[in-house]
Amino acid sequence: MPPPHQEPPKLGETVEAPKGIMGRIARTIVPVRYEVVCYECEYAFQVSGQIHETTCPKCRARLKGGDYVIDKEWFQPIRTTGNVQFLPGAVLRGVDVTAKDISLAGSTEHGGLHACRRLELWPGARFDITKLRVKDLVVRRGARFILAQAIRCRNVEVEGELNAIIFAEGLVTLRSGGLLAGEIDCARLFVEEGGGLEAHVCVGARSSAPSANVLVGIGRNHSLEIPGRN
């Protein structure tokens, strides 16, 4: 005889398995946890389940969520704990966009971007480097950029081509097939085999000798400086 119809368990609800030789077994449906980054103070914290509004536990700011996909001209400012994606053909007009993660394949030359966690640059992306605030920067495969102004961030990952002056307090990663040129000052460096490094690189704090922070595959020409070593 088939079991009677039952409603599926809700998040956080404890249910009991049917009786059997193992007796009763209780199981809990654990809610999925998401990282939220406050766009006021950049404090990162976790919440259970997707949210539309929440409060930052550090600065007590009221935060709004929601994701946006933009494929045309955009004239409204955005402040969200979610993600924003600019598709090819999207144009940001004179406003600022703040989000956790931003994916850019359109144009934001006339607006500002603040990626509280990560900014991904795709082929065809156009932007004003003076109007960017990022924590982590990713240059996707096929994208090519020359930045006229130095950029400061936490981590950098290059799959495409990037020529820039970079100050990274964390890890700089160069993927196979990518090219990184210019001047790099970072805490750690990782170059995959086949990555092209054509830059002057300073790894670790200048005031003291660093630990083993450099992992280099078979790349192209590079100048590597390790402070504190002859």
Per-residue pLDDT of the chain (230 residues; tens, 9 = 90+): 555 555 555 555 555 555 554 555 556 666 688 899 999 999 999 998 777 899 999 999 999 999 999 999 999 999 999 999 999 999 999 999 999 999 999 999 899 999 999 999 999 999 999 999 999 999 999 999 999 999 999 999 999 999 999 999 999 999 999 999 999 999 999 999 999 999 999 998 554 444 444 444 444 444 444 444 43
Helix (H, G, I), strand (E, B) or coil at 129: helix
CB-based contacts of 29, cutoff 8 Å, min separation 6: 9, 10, 11, 12, 13, 15
**What residue segments make up the domains of the chain, in order of their start?**
162-230
Alpha-carbon separation of residue 139 from 17, 61, 124, 171, 214 (angstroms): 49, 31, 11, 14, 21
Angle at 33 between CA 32 and CA 39, to 5 degrees: 140
What sign for the dihedral angle of Cα 40, 42, 45, 47?
positive
| Closest C-alpha to 198, from 216, 180, 225 | 180
In this structure, the number of other CB atoms found within 10 A of the CB of residue 74 comes to 21
pLDDT number for residue 219: 47
pLDDT of residue 28: 60
Radius of gyration of the chain (CA): 23
pTM of the model as a whole: 0.78
What does each C-alpha distance from 127 to 97, 111, 147 come to in angstroms? 12, 8, 10
